[in-house]
Amino acid sequence: MQNSQEKLIIQSGVPLTGEVSISGAKNAVLKLMAASLLPCDVSVIKNVPELSDVEIMTDVLSELGAIVHYDKINGVLTIDSRNITSCVASDIFVSKMRASFVVLGPLVGRMREACVAMPGGCQIGERRVNFHIKGLQAMGCQCDIKDGYVYAVAKELKGADICFDIPSVGATENIMMASVLADGVTVIQNAAQEPEIVDLANFLNAMGAKIEGAGTNQIVVTGVKQNELHGVEHATIPDRIEAGTYMSAVIATKGHAYIKNVYPNHLTIFTGKLLEMGAKIKLVEPHVMEVSSDRRLDAMNFITQPYPGFPTDLQALAMTLLSTANGISVVTESLYENRFMHINELWRMGANIRQSNNHAIIKGVDYLVGTEVVCTDLRAGAALVVAALMAKGESVVKSLHHIDRGYEKFTAKLSGLGAKIVRVPIDYQPDENIFSEQNEVVNIKV
């Protein structure tokens, strides 16, 4: 993975054209990796993106005793979980990425005990673990939080009726995985419905689990015995958030491109809002979308909600598009209280945005102005890159480690669409136009 002490230099004014292929979903593959702990066998996960988060999860599994081989060239992970030697996931790795907390469920299911560090990751708001713990407690697990760790022990793990106050993706995944090897039937009410949960359920069912209802608000898991589980081969679903990001970039630059390897039904709400704004989107093949825009977009309002509502992970990108739209838009963030941190950076580019609690009121300006900005979290980082592509002049985007967490070959894919974008060391100072056709800059990464 490239050094985080780097920056992007971006020159605007180029409509993005061509085609781009979407990688495997980050939020799916990390959970599949955790689920591979359940069987005493070898599993193979395909369509795995090369991301820093995948590398962190690889470290987490290795610490537990799994043997992990990551073929980055072909995007294939082979995970041998036959000899898990530890039930302790330390804060060395877990504190770096919240998703790694989902090893709690499979460890409790297989080992009947777990010691997992409290999760970290992007600081976009309070993301409590109480739903995870209450669910495990309902199944007979004793859970304690001490010194930054969750300690869970289950002499007996029994199926239970569990109802979440609000849909929680992580808690749904943890309880679903723990209940695979529990005695009896577990019913998860008000379950999260994201496509990544469906992908996880398909992965587990292929292993020998008995899960019904994934993708609805009620998931039913009938427990099986350890010897009934086996390793599988499975291809990760495409990343709907990455797809939405490239759709936004093409529309922002008034471009015309084909987004390949995408599941359109995973983006129904987002696509509808883009059409409402005036973008042109057409399904030309079952997994290929044609996206374009030839005019200034129109204002619109939206509220982020759990799937199938408007995705919070695409909120910053939509706000960026609305910053130059006709009229006034209102964006309401209903899930995370700190997910407006990118507003300050958009202000620096000339956006007219006023925040009132969890609402952002956006009055479209004629154009954004290129400047130096800093990524505040993963999705805000992608939104700032899109803002730089649509702004007038040159921009510099820093703190790229956020983007590296969730976007595979981000700079190269944008370059393939014609963007003027290069990744350079943080202290790089070109003497002349870095984008001149006659100028070859040494050691620039894409």
Q: Which amino acid is at 2?
A: Q
CA distance 344 to 23: 30
Length of the chain: 446
CA distance 207 to 34: 13
Give residue 429's Cα distance to chain centre: 32
Is residue 137 within 8 A of residue 165, CB to CB? The reply is: no
Q: What is the DSSP letter of 236?
A: P
CA distance 226 to 209: 10
- Residue 79 CB contacts under 8 Å (≥ 6 apart), including other chains: 33, 36, 42, 43, 44, 45, 61, 66, 67, 68
Is residue 230 within 8 A of residue 209, CB to CB? The reply is: no
Decide: helix, strand or coil at residue 260: strand
- The token duo for 42 is 């070898």
CA distance 446 to 435: 13
Max distance between CA atoms of the chain, in angstroms, equals 70
Please give the radius of gyration of the chain, using alpha carbons only, rounded to the nearest integer: 22
- The token duo for 210 is 């008995």
Q: Which of 40, 87, 122, 143 is catalytic?
A: 122
CA distance 117 to 135: 18
Q: Which residue has the tokens 């994201």?
A: 194
Antiparallel, parallel or unpaired: β 6-11 and 17-21? unpaired
Can 87 be counted among the known catalytic residues?
Answer: no
- Residue 285 CB contacts under 8 Å (≥ 6 apart), including other chains: none
**409 C-beta neighbours (distance < 10 Å), count:** 14
Rounded to 10°, the helix 378-390/240-252 angle is 20
Integer distance in angstroms from the first to the last C-alpha of the chain?
12
CA distance 2 to 23: 18
- Whether cis (ω within 30° of 0) applies to the bond prior to 264 is no
Question: Which residues are designated catalytic?
Answer: 122
